Chains A and B, each alone.
Chain A
């Protein structure tokens, strides 16, 4: 690892002030991804500002006036604590399932909620500093395009990058219409819808998201929803646990009788950001919750897929995973209001 300066503070504004003074500085939260990338020489900050002592860890109801309108999850809280918080387990079981599908127990004890959103792709060419990579070093080319791209994107990729975004948590947050609350250098808050937080690669794959240097994730906010009783997170991977997704699906259904009032579906492992399956959602709205309708929705969603040389299997896998996730959601989570 290259030498760097280590600074710590227990105050959010001073952390931001330290960061904006140095364009090569980075925030350090759990460190599970950043320190690994520094060991690999992919990330080369010359200063780390440790956020471990900031008081931004609480999970609490999101309140407007006298009404609870959702839940707020501290940006620096640990993934384990978010997944196991009683309010989240009860009212947002989809989030619990998605977080617990990611990484290992040790890593979830270290990784923060904000850091989870900021983790970088696991594209092996991004990690290999001997290979060209537009995300790591803009303008050098994409090695994965003509390489082994089995793990790569089938939606939304560009000629400059076909990497996928690895978070499980963010896929659930996408299906739950969450927002990311950040503190700007001016001290004011900015709320970014989860769908606008991560980016498609376009011509700037070096930018994973729309955060500016000096902006700090203080919380993730999830609005109240009607999916607690009927939701599922299904992750398909090369081994049963502790692996990144080939394809994952977060699905929530709002049902009346056997009829779908609304469906919320997001996919992981298929794009540079959580992929919201809007075609499928639109088809399901107002229809009966039957396997035939689930299949029709899944087929429609996968129609726009553009597979690469080694990942055509993700189309069939994507369809089956959407159908299975909807079936599991329909079966129910055992939720009691």
Chain B
């Protein structure tokens, strides 16, 4: 028989925080254990960001925080007080699709679409980082986003098209 010492839960109050989400300042109160992912989906009704594994293994929850792609499932909302967050809902401008959204459609880069918001946010982050030049490098730096439908080849095609378009400008 395994006995365990379980410490008494600490009563913890909600924390007030302010987040700039897709350019809009939001003030809200959340409990400290609410992940940024749950905060977006459950508190702000931004359900574009997906919960896949919730353990940092699939990349479906990828969002861009202060310009860097991160996993919202392994981030507490309270850690990001004052931060600027971009989700899939915020990347299109004036009713126009983001070039990556358009490329994903053109290249048939998804089947079920569940990993797509994370793939696109991750690709935006990757292009901004500027480290991946070749297809092999893009594949390596996109390896944190899994696609279980197996659309990876088309996903990389879509990203390469946008990246090469930017390079050739």
Contacts and interface: CB of A to CB of B under 8 A. Distances in A.
B11 to A, nearest CB: 7
Given A1-B33, A6-B32, A47-B10, A109 B68 contact: yes
A257 interface: no
Contacts of A107: 56, 71, 74, 144
A104 B7 contact: no
A52 B125 contact: no
Nearest to A141: B2
Contacts of A48: 32
Interface stretch (B75-83, B87-95, B98-106, B154-162): B75-83
A4 B10 contact: yes
A109 B66 CA distance: 11
A40 B73 CA distance: 13
A44 B7 contact: yes
A50 interface: yes
Given A3-B11, A32-B56, A105 B79 contact: no
B163 interface: no
Contacts, number: 102
A46 B144 contact: no
Interface in A242-262: 242
A44 B9 CA distance: 10
Interface in A92-116: 103-107, 109-110
Residue among B12, B62, B74, B142 facing the most chain A CB atoms (10 A cut-off): B74
B33 A105 contact: no
A28 B70 contact: no
Interface in A118-147: 132, 137, 140
B75 A6 contact: no
Contact of B75 (A46, A110, A242): A110
Given A5-B10, A48-B32, A242 B74 contact: no
Interface string B1-36: 010101111111001000000000000000111010
Given A1-B33, A36-B55, A31 B9 contact: no
Interface of B is mostly: loop
Contacts of B54: 39
Interface residues of B, number: 40
Contacts of B79: 28, 31, 50, 52
A50 B81 CA distance: 12
Interface string A54-77: 000000000000000000000000
Contacts of B7: 24, 44, 46
A328 interface: no
Interface residues of A, number: 37
A6 B15 contact: yes
Nearest to B80: A52
B61 to A, nearest CB: 9
A84 interface: yes
Contact of B74 (A6, A36, A132): A36
Contact of A110 (B2, B70, B140): B70
Contacts of B9: 2-3, 46
B86 interface: no
A35 interface: yes
A40 B56 CA distance: 12
Contacts of A103: 144
Interface string A18-39: 0000001000100110011011
A105 B144 contact: yes
A9 interface: no
Given A104-B144, A109-B69, A241-B143, A6 B55 contact: no
B3 to A, nearest CB: 9
9 contacts: A3-B9, A28-B76, A32-B71, A80-B129, A104-B144, A105-B122, A105-B125, A105-B142, A109-B70
7 pairs of A and B residues whose beta carbons are closest in the complex = A104-B144, A6-B32, A241-B143, A242-B143, A1-B33, A3-B9, A109-B68
Given A48-B32, A241-B143, 17 more contacts: A2-B33, A3-B11, A5-B32, A24-B7, A32-B56, A32-B74, A44-B7, A46-B7, A50-B79, A80-B129, A105-B141, A105-B143, A106-B144, A107-B144, A137-B2, A137-B4, A242-B143
